[in-house]
A and B are shown apart, each in its own frame.
Chain A
Amino acid sequence: MTKVAHYMAMEVINQELYNELQKEEEKYDAIESLTNGLFEQGTTIRLVVENALSSMQEAFQNGVYVPDMQAGWRKEINQEYQNYLLRFGYTQEEIDILKIMGVNITYKDIMNLKTTMGNEKVFISEDYKALLYQGKVYIIDVPKDEMSYQGTWKKDGQMTLTKTEFDWAAGILGINLEDIPKEELFDHNGKHRLQRAEVSGKDKNVTTAVALHIIMGIESFFVSSLEHMEIKVFFESSGNQRKATIMVGDSQTRLRMQEIDYGMPVNTYRDSKGVLGNKYASDYAIGMYKMITGKDVPDKNDTYTITGTLDERHREIDINGYLSYSEDGELLYTPLIYAGDTAYISTCQKFTGYNAKEILEFTDMLSNSVVADDEMKKILEQALEKYDNGK
């Protein structure tokens, strides 16, 4: 019996040794399979580089470099930046959506995406179409219909920028907030209103966008002062899509919005004070008419005013508009407009301002975007990049 037990024990030992060795073999195979795709992308990109260099060498004609802007290597390099997103947990479907939305990921974007991992920093993509947040690309969205960002979107994150961040960013950039050019504008009381954002002649729609704020008697349409401004960014996702909404609020404007009598139609001439105020209100309406139509008002001797209505929903919301970027990378402000907001150029009685007759509607222009000044753009960019949620 002892011999049987002995050889049975030996058999068990042999089996255990075999199992141990088998485990080692499996471990080796696992490492091999987990690592066999490594260095493939590096190799591919190096081939693309070689291809690019040789096609650049062929681009010389009579000793002058004649670049081929349609050269295949440009697309190949771009493709590799998109592919690199796979390393940030992107799926092919998500990459395709970015392509459809026209977001072009660059080398700088990839490096910035890397920087956003594990913190709250935010970068603007090099093509100004998206915000880079937590290793993901969020396309900048300006809601078309009121608060359209509600719905099936899931909030991935949020950040809030206030005076502290702006002051700090301005300090880093060496910008004195007091030095930001302010363009003067008169309101319907004949008072000087200071405009932070650039009311430049570049964009014909600029002043129409200001109109809503003039109607509301609001200090300024964009940044009455950085002191009062708050920028909130929502990062949201839904399926394979991600979007960022940059909302601007301003405490002064908010106060005004809560005071407004929404039941009462607006009439800037009627509501202005004194002869001077009346004159400015009429002149402003005349100027607006010319800006919109390109023509003079029908009768220069008539009295003009801006009339309209304001949607009561303004009272309940703490944002005034949205920020986004133009194709050229200019910072744009788009006012938040509700269905109940309307605006007209009207004629009215000279002494009372009553009996207003609408002669031109420009409601659809209220939601036109305005270009913000360059300093503001830089300050925002800086504040976003260094933001780390109070950390």
Chain B
Amino acid sequence: MDQQSRVKRFEEAVVAHLDAAYDFARWLTRDERTAEDVVQEACLRAFRFLESLRGDNARAWLLAIVRNTYYTSLKRNQVESLSVPFDEETIAAHEASELDGWQGAAEQLLHQEDARRLVNDALGRLPDEFREVIVLRELEDLSYKEIARIAGVPLGTVMSRLARARKLLLQHLKRAQKES
């Protein structure tokens, strides 16, 4: 590719998905300034690695770079708070029965005036690895397979994290509604 077609390709593959990249970065970092830094660096990397995109989902490809950039920067700054220790298998096994306790929380949500605040607050409080799968699934509407690629985990882990994320969200909403 010559430079002109690389720039054109960059517009189609990267600039076209900047809102998605920035939104994902905002939810990952929970900070405006950091999100901008992450997206800017990710876009430069995307430009440099443009040849690695082969006609597949450019948005998912870009989001993977955003995620990589963010976690690399975290490692660089030695802020290691990525892993919430838990056994995915154990949680998956308990998931089913525990959901019973949260009847009503989400349904009320739809009628609540401050639903917007509640939802965003609950989402912001999720641990990193759960927040990223739920954002990719519900806000970016990506498939399990795409999420697995972006997060670099097996499909089964995506499923158990999604289940866990939803349970935590429902728990949080329930608690918040009880308080208000």
Q: Do A and B come from one complex?
A: no
A residues lining the B interface (CB < 8 Å): none
B residues lining the A interface (CB < 8 Å): none
